Amino acid sequence: MRLISWNVNGLRACIKKGFFTFFEKVDGDIFCVQETKMQVGQADVISRGYHQFWNSSERKGYSGTLVFSKKEPIFASNDFKAGREKHPREGRLITLEYEDFFLVNVYSPNSKRGLVRLDYRMNWEDDFREYVLSLGNKKSVILCGDFNVAHEEIDLKNPQSNHCSAGFTPEERQKFSELIRQGFIDTFRFKYPDKKDCYTWWPYMKNSRARNVGWRIDYFLTLGIPTRKIIDFKTHDDVFGSDHCPIELEICV
């Protein structure tokens, strides 16, 4: 089974830049999108042969997630119940239940410049972890999306100058480490434990992408799936249309 994840930084804009060219070429069984920045019906999103599942932010032009799936799931839901009263409806989570696993597409909150949203991010992380672990008590979990954190120094170009930057604070990295300690596997690092200079997001400034000055903040994590079933991981850094590139997981489930 081939799964794709891509933060498109605005689906309407990305469609104009060739989103569906890549979508059709890669032919994923499940294709997860983050940061759609749109409501259903604001653009023609035609995906023959796929079911669509949307979670749009109440705030228009902001955040949002989407999943295309060839196979119809048993059940689909948005967001999570734990601490729901604390969390604005920003369209950050979609869960699809299949016979053998849960698929969770996530767009984690950004701590923002000046870390003005770091405290909220920490609360969100705790509720999110509780939620995905509760799923793992029932069946295997495939968790993907833009986590807005580079886990280790190898996961960004300039770790020393970014230690207190949003996405590389000790607090954010610790929350990601807690997922790993609870049994989630970073499938990229499982396949390529020492690979350097492999990133999924590049700032628009200073020609960063051409110089490969980037961060790895997009992930596929698995829980309860034997590692022998993790076949391959690809980073499609030759695909443009967003400040992120698509990532791909090939797995047997």
- Two structure tokens written together for 215: 């961060």
Give phi and psi for 66, each to the nearest 5.
Answer: -155, 140
Residues 6+ apart with CB under 8 A from 81: 131
Active-site option among 50, 98, 131, 146: 146
Active site residue 29: no
Compute, in degrees rounded to 10, the torsion defined by CA atoms 12, 240, 24, 29: -90
Active site residue 237: no
- Residue 173 CA to residue 150 CA, distance in Å, equals 7
Active-site option among 107, 131, 199, 219: 107
Helices (H), the chain: 11-16, 19-26, 118-136, 170-181, 187-191
Residues 6+ apart with CB under 8 A from 134: none
Which residues are tagged catalytic?
107, 146
